[in-house]
Structure 1
Amino acid sequence: MTDELLPLSLDELLTTTRSVRKRLDLERPVPLEVIRTCLEVALQAPTGGNAQPWHWIVVTDPGLKKAIAGYYAQSYDAYRRSSRHPRARRFEDPARNATQARVASSADYLAEHLAEVPVLVIGAIDVGGELPAGNQAGLWGSLLPAAWSFQLAARARGLGAAWTTLHLQYEKQIAELLDIPPGVRQGVLLPVAYTKGTDFKPARRQPLDTVLHLNSWSSVSA
């Protein structure tokens, strides 16, 4: 049933919607109707000027998924060897380093099994030409909130997804593979599956006061 929701409060939904990788159920089929329901929720997100320039490419064909996974693996290999990879980021806090190691292992797993994930959802936006120069927040602000709404709707229905953009290194090749027009640019790839269990918890984050600035950058929040 597409309308069977987990018994989560709003705050629980917002704080326990995780990037799910190792706990994606690669064996359980995901009905297209469930994906459609989650996308219907996503389409309620705001867009600049109510333009609604988004497009959603849902990929279930095994051959297409394998091809996308091949490009993803190439991009991930370079990422894994870079200073941006979670395993390369070290902190004074041992607990945070342990978290980084778990995230790195999880990311490795997704790269190895992406082709096996039942559904790949690519969020894209019609830019009508080239990407604008300078800060592009106004552009992507008309796509990314909807993609997050999709993840929330999926979580509420027992599915998980992992937010990733590593495929964008091969955006042109994937666009050709999926017949995406040149003026439509991809913004996020969401591998979607039912999750093994639904008992996700809030993640450990840095204290708010380490990132909160009141009225100026140099202000102290407390």
Structure 2
Amino acid sequence: MALLDLTPDQLLTTTRSVRKRLDLTRPVPLALVKECIEIALQAPSGSNRQTWHWMVVTDTARRAEIGRYYQRAVRTYLASEGTCGSLFPEDPERHAVQQRVGDSVAYLGDHLGDVPVLVIPCLDANEAPEYNEAGKWGSIIQAAWSYMLAARARRLGTAWTTLHLMYEKEIAELLGLPSGVDQAALIPTAYSLGTEFRPAARQPLEQVLHLDTW
């Protein structure tokens, strides 16, 4: 498959969390997912340990079961105080954006089990340094982001999600994960309905940049 004609800057600034625009009916070749993971394995890792593992779920029944857990977690999250639409009431523009995010989160909650591929990046906590949480989690998170970038370049949509971790134990048992293997995220993966995505609104650089001192 030909890659999208994107510059590095375009790839980095237009890789969005895709929820409503995931094609739930089109199969994703496993070879394409493996290709993205191969690229992710080139990500930097603390002390070059590479303590990561990649759980790829394509089985219909397992996806449906994970989807049920995820749906319960999403409903709990959206019902909690201070999430999505209830944020930034003093800023109408940001409030509206968060409401749209909440709507798309709810949609994914109802449809996660229908997404053709679920990718769960994991780390072997037995091999990761206990004294350095940044190094422990930073490595797998960077690799997961590389996976999402590689997927975007191949016309696949993804979303970074962690709400399934409300049921981490149950999902670990469902998938037969060994003791000590921790799940870092859940990345639904499907062809995106359209490939045109824009950079998101973010805070001005001047509000977050500190030079030499705070």
Give the aligned CA root-mean-square deviation in angstroms.
1.6
| Map of 2:175 onto structure 1 | 178
| Map of 1:213 onto structure 2 | 210
Q: Secondary structure at the match of 1:142?
A: helix
Q: Secondary structure at the match of 1:201?
A: coil
Asked if the contact 2:128/2:136 (under 8 Å) is kept, the reply is no
| Map of 2:166 onto structure 1 | 169
| Map of 1:120 onto structure 2 | 118
Structure 1 gap ranges (5+) = 218-222
Matched, 1:136 2:133: yes
Structure 2 gap ranges (5+) = none
Matched, 1:44 2:42: yes
Task: Determine the C-alpha separation between the residues in 2 that align with 1:131 and 1:20.
Answer: 33
Counterpart of 2:56, as a letter, is V
**Higher helix content, 1 or 2:** 2
CA offset digits 1:152-197 (Å, max 9, x no partner): 0000000010100001111111111001011110001000000000
CA offset digits 1:17-63 (Å, max 9, x no partner): 00000000111110000000000000000111111110000001110
Q: How many residues align?
A: 214
Moved more, 148-157 or 205-214: 205-214
TM-score, normalised via structure 2 length: 0.95
Moved more, 147-156 or 83-92: 83-92
TM-score, normalised via structure 1 length: 0.92
Residue 88 of structure 1, aligned match among 83, 86, 89: 86
Q: Secondary structure at the match of 1:21?
A: coil
Displacement of 1:129:
7.8
| Map of 2:153 onto structure 1 | 156
CA offset digits 1:101-156 (Å, max 9, x no partner): 111110000000001001000000001189947x6212001200000000000000
Identity of aligned residues (%): 57
